Amino acid sequence: MNRALAIKKIGEDQNWDVVVIGGGATGLGAAIDAATRGYKTLLLEQHDFTKGTSSRSTKLVHGGVRYLAQGNISLVMEALRERGLMYRNAPHLVTDVSFLIPSFSWWSVPFYTIGLTLYDVLAGRLGFGRSLPQSRNTTIKKIPTVEKHGLRGSVLYHDGQFDDARMGINMVQTLHEQGGLALNYCKVEDLLKSGGKISGVVARDQETGKEYTINTRCVINATGIFVDEVLKKDNPNAREIIKISQGVHIVLDKSFLPSKYGMMIPKTKDGRVIFAVPWHDKVILGTTDIPKDLALEEPLVTDEEIDFILETACRYLAKKPTRADVQSVYAGLRPLAAGKTDSAKTSEISRGHKIYTSESGLVTIIGGKWTTYRQMAEDVVNKAVLAAKLPAVKSSTRKLHIHGYKENPDTRDPMYFYGSDKEKIMELAAQEKELGTIVSEKFNIIAAQVIWACRYEYARNVEDILARRIRVLIMDAEESIRIAPAIASIMAREFSYDKSWEKDQVEQYSQIAKQYMISS
């Protein structure tokens, strides 16, 4: 996981079987699948791994209760199976969470109990537990802050949650362990062809500006909201195949949901569902589903989206959150598979994935969701094998443990999400006394975590650390700004950068973090 060595390798070894463009959930999954089959695999990401949509999810590993209501049984079955496999393969990141659906009408409890019993049946042996009706008193006991006026009871069901960005970086480490190579901040500028067929890519190191010509038998376009841009590099006349939808989440103090149980609000004004999810001692509320025209690196949250989430939550919570209570707000852009017409609402577009192979042999994957990343990866590599006439090898990722694998982690430990790496981080802190220094008492962060991210997790700047390695930006934007100078100082010493770099980093990060804060 040394970036300098990785850059050196693509300069010296320019021939690969598979090049994956895109370092989000889909691209990382595809690269791992290809590498485990024995194909020489390289993944290139223009920014940091999971910088986009893949680090801005609701943090759920779920079959999709909403998709069940829409009658999309096949997607629900696939997602429930993959939910179980994620839980088995990354138990340090994926946990079982019980959700309650509050009921304020006489028919809701039996209605949702029947539907969620089907949800349990579809999960089969990979299920997390039975869905059961709950009395009014039991509901209040489990979620003390639930709105009590008119409450009749609830239905309890089980789903999974995880840390998306941490999963992403552990997948990068898994890829390396399987013989593959990944590079962040390395942008594919162009596609190369020979006889009309894809033969390679031109990639630019975003840090040095140096370009590299990389030969490959196959290119997989897994760039999410940017897939159309890559398709245009292949064919300027290619039609656009994605429809972008924005999902916004707000983060509150745990006092608004002082419980180990999550809450699912079954129907909003626009016919969606909203989740209140306990996560890292905070509560995440979301999400929205708003069509967008532009693919932005940093999507902008609107007041309407924030107010929509708060208004919906206030109808179900006795402790009413306000704008002043929001500790962070973040937005992600979903790359949905566009239909033949523009009439469908984004909330009605299937979360299933689609794969296209162009005449040149470029393989593109769109749609899908975090929960089904492994199946998506298997499917797209199968297509790539056919397109590039690679030796046929079956996928073996169903039982592949993700880096950091550790059974039964103590989720009360603020460092539990490191899994088996935690011991190594603590050894690092013991070896170098100053690395035991506390950077944030609020989140129990020590300097060794920053150094670990630099040495073993490809972190290159302050944003990488605070947004995706230790997640403070997502949990408390104000606290992240406060500790940014300390993070920059630690990184500058590690990378031998000067004070000017530190200053620039703090300024750049602060501008980004302010977008995660709202005025009351």
Least trusted range by pLDDT, from 95-109, 200-214, 299-313, 337-351 = 337-351
The per-residue pLDDT for 519 is 79
DSSP one-letter code for 256: G
Decide: 264 and 273 in contact? Cβ < 8 Å. yes
Confidence class of residue 374 from pLDDT cuts 50, 70 and 90? very high
What does the pLDDT look like over 376-407, one tens digit per residue?
A: 999 999 999 999 999 999 999 999 999 999 99
Strand 41-44 and strand 181-183: pairing? parallel
Confidence class of residue 268 from pLDDT cuts 50, 70 and 90? confident
The per-residue pLDDT for 138 is 98
Tokens of 329: 């707000």
Closest CA to 350 of 341, 340, 337: 337
- Per CATH, the homologous superfamily of domain 3-53+165-240+346-399 is FAD/NAD(P)-binding domain (3.50.50.60)
Element (H, E) at 20: strand 15-21
Burial class (CB in 10 A: 0-12, 13-18, 19+), 150: exposed
The per-residue pLDDT for 145 is 97
Closest CA to 158 of 283, 54, 60: 60
Q: What does the alpha-carbon distance between residue 216 and residue 225 come to, in Å, rounded to a whole number? A: 24
CATH of domain 416-514: 1.10.8
**Measured torsion, CA atoms of residues 50, 48, 197, 176, in degrees rounded to the nearest 10:** -80
Tokens of 481: 């700004």
Whether pLDDT at 69 is above 90: no
Average of per-residue pLDDT across 272-286: 93
Whether pLDDT at 337 is above 90: no
What does the pLDDT look like over 473-504, one tens digit per residue?
A: 999 999 999 999 999 999 999 999 999 999 99
DSSP sequence for 452-481: HHHHHS---SHHIIIIIIS-HHHH-HHHHH
Closest CA to 329 of 512, 162, 474, 510: 474
Closest CA to 473 of 442, 512, 441: 512
The per-residue pLDDT for 70 is 74
Least trusted range by pLDDT, from 145-154, 159-168, 341-350, 418-427 = 341-350
DSSP one-letter code for 195: T
Task: Please give the mean pLDDT across all residues of the chain.
Answer: 94
Q: Which residues pair with 438 in a beta bridge?
A: 446
The per-residue pLDDT for 388 is 97
What is the value of pTM for the model shown?
A: 0.95
The per-residue pLDDT for 164 is 97
* Burial readout 195-215 (b: 16 or more C-beta within 10 A, e: otherwise): eebbbbbebbbbeeeeebebe
Whether pLDDT at 338 is above 80: no
Per-domain boundaries in the chain = 3-53+165-240+346-399, 416-514
Average of per-residue pLDDT across 294-313: 93
Phi-psi bin for 314: left (phi > 0), alpha (psi -120 to 50), beta? alpha
Confidence class of residue 520 from pLDDT cuts 50, 70 and 90? low
Decide: 323 and 250 in contact? Cβ < 8 Å. no
The per-residue pLDDT for 13 is 82
Decide: 462 and 505 in contact? Cβ < 8 Å. yes
